[in-house]
Amino acid sequence: MAYDLEEQEQLDAIKAWWNRYGTLIMSLLVIVALAWGGWWGWQAYQNHRANQAMGYFEALEDAASLNGPESVARIKAAAATLRKDYPATGYASRGALVAATALIQQKDVAGAREQLEWLAGQSKHPALQPVARERLASLLLDEKQYDAALAQLNNPPAPFAALYADRRGDILAAQGKADEARQAWQTALDGMPASDPLRQVVQLKLDALSGA
């Protein structure tokens, strides 16, 4: 097939351009393809791990609905697996709270404390870490470990400030520090919206303290 001079010059220009940039273009295409495939592979891996974590969490919930030594062992085993193998997932943090509640109900306070202490130290779970700290403070209050309980309530996240102040008041009152307890409960009241049902409870504590 014959080409006129202009067409030949165009073909030569295309060949010269390809010779200069073709290898680079192919390399870039390969990199993009590998990156795309890697992203999908990572997504698949993450989904697989999430499904595995969900399975252990469901097993934990099932065990928590039962009673007895076998139930306690199953709760601890499922929670331990979530903490060890899937610590960054939401199932691990939720599992710790579920396990702690179930273990307290089954009178395994030491086991519950272990769950709460783990979650209270996990800053990568900002939604549930403050919940664990407050519950751990309550547990330590019941065990009369007042200083350790108060330590859990330091630097409260803003949404938990009133709740933490209320719990701090409980601890201070248990220590016989009436003035400090009154101040903590007043702080709690000041930080609660008028519609918060906990306000009435805190007010009752203040009234009882004032009448003592």
Write down the domain spans for the chain: 48-124
Half-sphere exposure of 195 (CA within 13 A, CB side): 0
What's the pLDDT score for residue 1? 47
- Rounded to whole angstroms, the Cα distance separating 22 from 48 reads 39
| Distance from C-alpha of 119 to C-alpha of 62, rounded to nearest angstrom | 21
> pTM of the entire structure?
0.76
CB–CB of 186/178 below 8 Å?
no
Give pLDDT tens digits along the chain (212 positions): 445 666 767 777 777 777 777 787 777 777 777 777 665 665 555 665 777 888 999 999 999 998 888 999 999 999 999 999 999 889 999 999 999 999 999 999 999 999 999 999 998 899 999 999 999 999 999 999 999 999 999 999 999 999 999 999 999 999 999 999 999 999 999 999 989 999 999 999 999 987 65
**Could you tell me how many residues make up the chain?**
212
